[in-house]
Chain A
Amino acid sequence: MRKTVFIVFLILLAGHNNLFAQYDGSSSGGRSAAMGDAAVTSADVWSILNNPAGLAENQKMSAGIFYEMRYNIADFSTRGAAFQLPAGRGNFGIAFSVFGISAYNEKHFAVAYGRELFPEFKGGISFDYLHTHLNDESGQLTANKGILTFQAGIQYKLTDKTGIGFSVFNPYSARLSDYENEYIPAIARLGLDYKAADHFLIVLEAEQNIKYNLRIKGGLEYEIKDRLMARGGVKTNPAEYTFGGGIKFMGITFDFAFAYHLVLGYSPYGSFQYQF
């Protein structure tokens, strides 16, 4: 508990008083978490939350779960699961995640659909229900608020090696509370990936959260062996390094990541994905 208080104090001191909220635009899935959070061009089951256009890529049923512990503090953890189902020329997906503890938590439900609109051009949309819960120590005073918003995105191939992704989450900054005009920030992301070689990928992304300065994210993925990946990345505002890896085994992929903040330390991240 003392550690939590200390970290909260540090965060407040650092001026990022919303840093630990779930709606801060951090990506889902251990792969992008290791690649500097750059996820707008990626295509896997986590696209439901990252950029629904990515759902169109792989027409197979798949599922995934993830766990993140921000700054290594259990109370700041996020847990989630996602499921993807082929439907027509695209994929349907549903996802759910929770951040926080019983006294304060944020839940996120998403239903998404993504498909190829034109050759090499994919689009997707998700409807997101964001629920925030707060109660006092005795549990008598509680506050709950849910809002519905959406995310829309596209992905397309510029050349054989280069892809572009763009998504916007909650474009109208849905209001959370009238108190101090609190709202969920709109987030737009623009990214690029470049396949320098068959087993080497470079990603770059710019993220604009309406509340904060522009964040630049970059990441690398290197396939050491067929089933083994090494990843690294960096993001700015606040500055963090990320690194991690992935192992594929019998249809299961395990991805892990660590983000390192200079003052706040490490945030571990892990996810499993299974393709049916």
Chain B
Amino acid sequence: MKNSIKYGIRLLATSTLFFSVFCTFAQEKDNDLPLIVNDIIEDHAQNRNEETDYSRLIDELNFRLRNPLNLNTAKEDDLRYFIFLNDIQIRDILNLRNKLGKIDNLFQLQLVESLSFQDIQNLKHFVYAGPLIEKTSGKLKRSLHYGRHDIFMRYERTLEQKQGYKPLSGSHLSESPNRRYLGSPDKYYLKYHYRSRNIRWGINAEKDPGEEFFKGTQPLGFDFYSGYVMVEDIKWLDKLIIGDYNMQAAQGLAMWSGLSFGKSSGVASVRKQAGGISPNTSMSEFGYFRGIAVEKVLGDFYTTVFYSRTKRDANINSRDTLGDYYYITSLQQTGYHNTESLVKNKDAVNEQLLGGNVFTKFGNLKLGVTAYAFELEMEMETPAQLYNKFDFSGNRQFVNSLDYEYNLRNIIFFGETAYSGNNAWGTLNGFIVRPVSGVFLSVLHRWYQRDFQSTKGGAFGENSANQNEKGLFTGLKIQLNRRITFNAYTDLFRFDWLNYRVDAPSCGSEYRLKMEYTPSRKWNADIRYQYEHKMINRDIENVIINKPGDRKKQRFRLNISWKATKWLKLNNRAAWSFMNMENQEPQDGWLLYQDILIRPDDKPYAFSFRYALFNTDSYDARLYAYEHDVLYAFAIPAYYYQGFRTYLLVKYELSKTIDFWLKIARSQYTDRTSVSSGLAKIDKPAKTDVKLQIRIKF
């Protein structure tokens, strides 16, 4: 409904000329998500090893780029998608609206003290000050008519031949069938989705490099298919998803699937913004649910119920010689099925899950309950290691949690306490406060027992699983004025049990300081320093008991971006890392790059170019840097060893309905003769990736 009205307004209020300007403007912005989004994603990637799919976030932000949110009708939850805003800022915006009655134009946002210049600039991309229309329930027919279709087709390939693609003689192959990739090195990606105010649907399909396509082990073509249909606000139905979906509740201690941000430089990120159920639009082959999920407001109770039945990739073993008793040794999350053994593990085990979430509000207090139970087809028995002694085993788990949020003047308290069926607890409590204007402080305490098993959770923590961890995080943001912002955090944590590669109880700390300087629209700069101390096993061979040693990592970076003209933007970065591990030589690394971004408003093309030089002593001293990529792909490569990397990204708008992207990226190493190891090994000191993408929207 909102959509259709907005379309109407646009048609009435704008001349064709204005309309075309708007279109190119919107186009231009497609690839130009606010810097903060890149920043947050880059931060996030630094703390993770596996690749994460940021589709959902980009989806939402892109949707809002095209369909800006009306600030006068926006609900608190709508604003939460703007991850660069924190809760107090969101509340202040809503308070301003209440005070003024109506926000007439976006300049009035400057009245919100807690918003910095940069926040307002970021927000302007996604919102507008529209009329005060009441939200009305949508009509299916209209919704079908005013929606938008998007089709993405992507092709990717590494040009150099990897070890796994080399021909292997028949005898070698029968001896060790896993020494070869099954299919071609091409990657295909297909994504179709439709979105309107009340209805959405979509299909994702992907073939990873090395997987077969329409033959052999993949008779259905793509290795991975995913799809969903979702209806929203139609008649009595608040939200219904059939197909693949994600579920996020409270602070994520019990239930959190899909994108999740850990520590990042923002105070805001400490409190998670649960999105409830949402369709799974990502290509991640793990972590989503498949089934049916319903959201319904019953009086004052916001209720969600979900059921899922999926197949998971797993490594299966049999215990007795007859092979009657099967059990799972590990669940796999990579989604790669490019060797014989990986194909064997594909969809090896059934998982069923049933759960629900209810929350209600009493004035300033919000209370919620989450509960779910899941069952695996077979027992899980991870190989006995001391560090995973308290991990999930068996085939059933029940987890429930209680969460709260309380708003007291300029403080928001929040927390969640969860119980896992094996009689273990985890709890997380904190607050965000704005003691005076321009200052935000956040404090978060977490306490997870070593045997707490929230297998579907994803709450704040240093470890990837919310288990065996105690810690206190404090974050501080100071907006000195509209130009200068400081961001700092400290996090101290301890693990009372062993961790992977840490053969003793250990503790650690992390500090970060960031200063942003935005003197004008023309340019901005930021400086960042990060220090991390953790304990990890020392690299000593032939010892029975390894004693963890201190590992200190420091990173420093300076970033300057400069908008030279309307169509030319330059971006420079210098980054340095330093690692000090007990019993080892200190290692350091640096990275320097120049970005050139050309985006003429009135031309159908845009270019991004980077030249980067890097030199690190080891993989451990690696540095990450966000890279522009084709829409929906997020590249945050790690730069390590010695060499240079260049990429060129071209976007061409063939017509109003068709966009085209091409990216060529090449890393060349000067200190070695081959890249990678194992099946991915390349016998040349270079790696070249080509990516092609077409989007059709109508």
Q: What residues make up the interface of A, taking CB atoms closer than 8 Å to B? A: 196-197, 199-200, 202, 216, 218, 220, 222, 232, 234, 236, 239, 241, 260, 262-263
Contacts and interface: CB of A to CB of B under 8 A. Distances in A.
Given A232-B474, A236-B509, A262-B507, A241 B492 contact: yes
B474 A262 contact: no
Contacts of A218: 488
A234 B474 contact: yes
A196 B441 CA distance: 13
A197 B476 CA distance: 15
Contacts of B533: 239
A234 B509 CA distance: 11
29 contacts: A196-B436, A196-B438, A196-B439, A196-B478, A197-B435, A197-B436, A197-B437, A197-B439, A199-B435, A200-B436, A216-B511, A220-B435, A220-B441, A220-B476, A222-B435, A232-B443, A232-B474, A234-B474, A234-B490, A239-B490, A239-B509, A239-B533, A241-B492, A262-B492, A262-B494, A262-B507, A262-B509, A263-B494, A263-B507
B472 interface: yes
Closest 10 CB pairs of A and B: A197-B436, A239-B509, A200-B436, A262-B507, A222-B435, A234-B490, A262-B494, A239-B492, A200-B435, A196-B439
B386 to A, nearest CB: 21
Contacts of B490: 234, 239, 241
Contacts, number: 43
Nearest to A233: B474
B435 to A, nearest CB: 5
Contacts of B474: 232, 234, 241
Contacts of A263: 494, 507
B439 A200 contact: yes
Contacts of A222: 435
A136 B226 CA distance: 76
Interface string B415-446: 00000000000000000000111110101000
Contacts of B441: 220
Interface of B: 435-439, 441, 443, 472, 474, 476, 478, 488, 490, 492-494, 507, 509, 511, 533
Contacts of B493: 262
A197 B438 CA distance: 9
A196 to B, nearest CB: 5
A224 B689 CA distance: 58
Nearest to B533: A239
A202 B437 CA distance: 14
A232 B443 CA distance: 10
A112 to B, nearest CB: 33
Nearest to B505: A263
A218 B494 CA distance: 21
A195 to B, nearest CB: 10
Nearest to A197: B436
B512 to A, nearest CB: 12
A40 to B, nearest CB: 19
A236 B511 contact: yes
A176 to B, nearest CB: 29
A260 B492 CA distance: 10
B436 A199 contact: yes
A218 B474 CA distance: 12
Contacts of A260: 472
Contacts of A197: 435-437, 439
Contacts of A236: 509, 511
A196 B492 CA distance: 26
A239 B472 CA distance: 12
Contacts of B443: 232
Nearest to A263: B507
Contacts of A232: 443, 474
Nearest to A216: B511
Nearest to A232: B474
A197 B494 CA distance: 35
Given A196-B436, A220-B441, A202 B507 contact: no
A262 B535 CA distance: 13
Nearest to B441: A220
A276 B26 CA distance: 69
A202 B477 CA distance: 12
Given A220-B441, A232-B443, A241-B474, 14 more contacts: A196-B438, A199-B435, A199-B436, A202-B478, A220-B435, A232-B474, A234-B474, A236-B509, A236-B511, A239-B490, A239-B492, A239-B509, A260-B472, A262-B492
A232 B473 CA distance: 12
A232 B474 CA distance: 10
B134 to A, nearest CB: 39
A224 to B, nearest CB: 9
A246 to B, nearest CB: 15
Contacts of A239: 490, 492, 509, 533
A1 B477 CA distance: 44
A234 B511 CA distance: 10
A110 B494 CA distance: 39
B461 to A, nearest CB: 15
B401 to A, nearest CB: 26
A22 B306 CA distance: 60
Nearest to B472: A241
Nearest to A200: B436
Nearest to A36: B490
A262 B437 CA distance: 32
Contacts of B436: 196-197, 199-200
A236 B489 CA distance: 12
A66 to B, nearest CB: 25
Nearest to B490: A234
B391 to A, nearest CB: 24
Nearest to B435: A222
A197 B441 CA distance: 15
B79 to A, nearest CB: 26
Centre residue among B439, B492, B511 by max chain A CB count within 10 A: B492
Centre residue among B438, B488, B509 by max chain A CB count within 10 A: B509
A220 B476 CA distance: 10
A6 B478 CA distance: 41
Nearest to A238: B509
Contacts of B438: 196
A153 to B, nearest CB: 26
A216 B512 CA distance: 12
Nearest to B511: A236
A262 B496 CA distance: 11
Contacts of A199: 435-436
Nearest to A195: B436
A262 B473 CA distance: 12
A220 B478 CA distance: 12
Contacts of B494: 262-263
A260 B472 CA distance: 10
Nearest to B479: A196
A198 B443 CA distance: 23
Contacts of B492: 239, 241, 262
A241 B472 CA distance: 9
A229 to B, nearest CB: 12
Nearest to B486: A202
A112 B443 CA distance: 39
A202 B509 CA distance: 22
Contacts of A234: 474, 490
A234 to B, nearest CB: 5
B66 to A, nearest CB: 39
B490 to A, nearest CB: 5
A99 to B, nearest CB: 26
A35 to B, nearest CB: 13
A218 B511 CA distance: 12
B170 to A, nearest CB: 59
